[in-house]
């Protein structure tokens, strides 16, 4: 089918950008949205632009595809460098920006959904935003429920000139959460016109996409508590705390299944495996691309509390202990504290010394802990339904005429 025929037959196109310098959060959120949308609209094609080094490890539904842009990683000093290519960081950024812009030009989307970063990594999406705005494409920013502490976010976004980008390029701002948890743009000096663009969708409900037999073949049929640090790149302390609890309290009654995550260093995984081999009630795997099935089968969850894991805890109604990180961002800590206030989870402070007995006691009590469904929060898991509605409205609109916009700079 030619491109012209596809357009004539009502074919619609959504382009999703996710910078994905590290971790799994952005990729998994974008993939979940893409899959829900192609299920809802049989004339929609979705293309994801991602810098995730493991995007190829995931399956994608028909009419969803991806382009993996050259990866970059953030160093401890805050600077970025190329993930794999032996070229200067500025050249990698230039290459990424060119791939993004050219993909957008050829794909010619009806809707452009940008994940988290209004101008992309170091401003790499600015040229694409200008191009698509001139073509009349509708442009939306998607934000997780919590970004960071307002005192940290405000100067960061001012430096990146993000408020001007929200004013000049974006038609709407979709927040995948609820105001009862957080206003992710609290403390940002935004004009009223930008605030009016904000729409809270609720959290993104997750589903199991593999058979129970498939999950059982991986984790066995004995009851278990799941321990997950998400991508695992900064999950050493959580795993160590849980392992120490089992080492110092051999009578803990619950089997623990630890999923290290694909970004935990291999030598760190090996060190943990050596300790776990001496524990009859603890097992570990590195990574599984259908984590929903493992969470759905767990008696309870111990996690760091990233956005996707939080959505899965809510979706599968699991009692949960959250041990949030507090560096480099306060995102997980803010989310966990607000969720604990609403009765949805229990939070353990990671900065109190992490005593073995505290974790051991929490593990003993976890299966009897309250579940999220014990507390009524209206609209809590309406996120995907509302995103589908919003996308349907956007796709049903005619292309906008080219607009004039003020100068919006990059980082």
Does this model's pTM top 0.95? My answer is no
* Class of the CATH-defined domain 3-205+382-395: alpha beta
Domains in the chain: boundaries: 3-205+382-395, 212-374
60-100 confidence digits (pLDDT tens): 999 999 999 998 877 656 677 788 888 888 999 999 999 99
Q: What angle do CA 323, 233, 365 make, to 5 degrees?
A: 25
Tokens (6 digits) for 403:
């607009």
pLDDT value at 246 more than 50: yes
| Alpha-carbon gap, residue 367 to 221, rounded angstroms | 17
Cα torsion through 138, 53, 296, 343, rounded to 10: -70
Cβ–Cβ under 8 Å, residues 255 and 281: yes
Confidence of residue 410 (pLDDT cuts 50, 70, 90): very low
pLDDT value at 403 more than 60: no
| Alpha-carbon gap, residue 15 to 390, rounded angstroms | 15
Residues 6+ apart with CB under 8 A from 204: 29, 32, 33, 176, 311, 381, 383, 384, 387
In DSSP terms, 283 is beta-bridged to 257
| Alpha-carbon gap, residue 250 to 260, rounded angstroms | 21
Q: Do domains 3-205+382-395 and 212-374 have the same CATH topology?
A: yes
CATH for the stretch 212-374: 3.40.50.2000
């Amino acid at each position: 089918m030619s491109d012209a025929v596809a357009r004539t037959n009502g074919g619609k196109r959504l382009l999703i950008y996710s910078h994905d310098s590290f971790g799994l959060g952005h990729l998994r959120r974008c993939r979940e949205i893409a899959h829900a949308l192609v299920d809802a609209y049989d004339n929609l094609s979705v293309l994801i632009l991602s810098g995730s080094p493991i995007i190829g490890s995931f399956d994608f539904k028909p009419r969803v595809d991806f382009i993996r842009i050259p990866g970059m990683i953030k160093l401890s000093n805050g600077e970025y460098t190329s993930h794999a290519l032996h070229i200067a960081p500025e050249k990698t950024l230039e290459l990424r920006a060119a791939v993004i812009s050219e993909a957008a030009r050829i794909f010619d989307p009806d809707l452009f959904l940008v994940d988290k970063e209004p101008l992309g990594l170091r401003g790499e999406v600015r040229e694409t935003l200008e191009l698509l705005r001139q073509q009349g494409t509708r442009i939306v920013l998607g934000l997780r429920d919590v970004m960071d502490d307002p005192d940290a976010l405000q100067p960061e976004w001012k430096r990146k000139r993000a408020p001007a980008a929200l004013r000049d390029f974006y038609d709407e701002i979709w927040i995948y959460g609820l105001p009862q948890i957080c206003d992710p743009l609290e403390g940002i000096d935004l004009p009223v016109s930008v605030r009016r663009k904000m729409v809270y969708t609720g959290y993104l409900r997750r589903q199991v996409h593999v058979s129970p037999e498939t999950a059982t073949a991986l984790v066995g049929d004995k009851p278990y508590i799941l321990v997950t640090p998400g991508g695992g790149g900064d999950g050493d302390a959580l795993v160590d705390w849980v392992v120490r609890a089992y080492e110092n309290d051999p009578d803990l009654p619950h089997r623990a299944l630890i999923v290290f995550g694909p970004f935990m260093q291999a030598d760190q995984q090996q060190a943990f495996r050596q300790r776990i081999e001496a524990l009859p009630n603890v097992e570990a795997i590195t990574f599984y691309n259908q984590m929903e099935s493992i969470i759905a089968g767990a008696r309870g969850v111990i996690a760091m509390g990233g956005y996707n894991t939080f959505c899965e805890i809510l979706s599968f109604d699991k009692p949960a202990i959250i041990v949030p990180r507090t560096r480099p961002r306060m995102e997980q800590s803010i989310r966990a504290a607000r969720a604990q206030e609403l009765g949805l989870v229990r939070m353990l402070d990671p900065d109190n010394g992490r005593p073995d007995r505290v974790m051991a006691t929490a593990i003993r009590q976890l299966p009897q802990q309250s579940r999220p469904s014990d507390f009524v929060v209206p609209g809590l898991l309406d996120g995907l339904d509302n995103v589908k509605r919003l996308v349907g409205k956007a796709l049903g609109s005619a292309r906008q005429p080219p607009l004039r916009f003020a100068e919006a700079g990059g980082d």
